[in-house]
Structures are given as structure tokens and as C-alpha cells.
Amino acid sequence: MPLSVTINEALCGRCQTQPPVFDACLSPFHYQAPLNHLLLGLKFNGRLAQARLLGELMTQWLASVVEIPPGQVIPVPLHATRLRERGFNQAVELARPVAQYFDVPLNLYGVRRTRSTPPQSDLSRKERLKNMRGAFEVVQPMSGSVVIIDDVMTTGSTAHELAAALLSAGAEQVEVWVCARA
């Protein structure tokens, strides 16, 4: 089911009391069947072909709502250990068609995950927030507008931490574009 969410227009109660550091979150889908099955298959069962489909669907929707392209696209990085286990980063695969369509750099090396964290899907909201604190290091200077790409946003803790790191490194504006919102 399509979903057009912009944090600035549709604030949830939690975001009203504790505003996110990023400027907006765009997501074409709700995290529900059948989309959740596609994302889970991609992420945990190595169904890499599903990334192309999901990335293209995401790009088609973004093309209809984004007026000004970002300066660069940064997929949420995986820790090296998780990347070796999985063999690919689902956020990178979703980001490829987005960056190509908007003709902007896909920055794969500007940020790194500093430590291996347990999967967010296994944690409560409070644990997710604690789990992500200090998990990212920006290793290249940042400027202008940056878009973070990820597969799913549940509590926003990953996006919050990565956006805070990018803003501290000089990014002027950070948006988050995810395939689905829980």
C-alpha cells in the first residue's frame, strides 16, 4: 500500500515531542504484506534480485514526489562483519537506482559503521536507540543536501544517529528515504 510520508507534514506524537534531526522522511510503502515478505527475503534470505524490483519501485515513487534532487545519496552502512555474513548491503542495492535516476553521487565510502550491533529487528524501541548511539563515523567531509537510504524505518533510531553524524560533519540538510515505514 502506497504511503506518502513527510516528517514535516505528518508528525507522529513522538516526533512532535522529540523532533528528529533529519529534515524529512519519504517512504512509498507501509511495512506490511506483501512488501514485508519481499524485504525480509532480500535482507535475510539473500534474495538479491528483489532489491532491483524494490529499488525501482521506490525510485518511480520518489520521481513523482521529489522536486529537487539531493547532492548525494548515502546508503546506511553495514558493519564489515554483517556485510561478510550477508554478502551485500540491502541499502546499497536499493540506493543504486535512486542515485542513477536523480543523477547524483552514490557515496559508499563517506560513512562507516564503527561497531557491530545486534539486528535492530530483535530489539525494543529503547534498546534500538541505545544500540545505535555512536554507531557511525563520517570519514569524508560533508556539505549540501544528503539523502540517507535504508530499507525499513521503524523507530527512526538508525536514521537519527546517521543524520546527526552527517550534520556534525557539515551536511546542511539530511533527508531519509526508505522503502517502507513500519
Q: How many angstroms separate the CA atoms of 2 and 61, rounded?
A: 9
Note whether residue 156 is domain-resident. Answer: yes
Model pLDDT for residues 41-74, shown as the tens digit of each residue: 888 888 888 999 999 999 999 999 999 999 999 9
The pTM (predicted TM-score) of the whole model is 0.88
Mean predicted lDDT score pLDDT of the chain: 88
The structural domain count of the chain equals: 1
Note whether residue 40 is domain-resident. Answer: yes
pLDDT band at 12 (very low <50, low <70, confident <90, very high): low
Note whether residue 6 is domain-resident. Answer: no
List the domain range (segments joined by +) for residue 160: 13-181
CATH number, domain at 33? 3.40.50
pLDDT band at 15 (very low <50, low <70, confident <90, very high): low
The predicted pLDDT at position 10 comes to 57
Q: How many angstroms separate the CA atoms of 131 and 52, rounded?
A: 29
Peptide bond into 34 cis (omega under 30): yes
97 membership: H or E segment, kind and range: helix 90-102
Note whether residue 42 is domain-resident. Answer: yes
Note whether residue 21 is domain-resident. Answer: yes
Note whether residue 2 is domain-resident. Answer: no
Note whether residue 177 is domain-resident. Answer: yes
Note whether residue 129 is domain-resident. Answer: yes
The predicted pLDDT at position 1 comes to 39
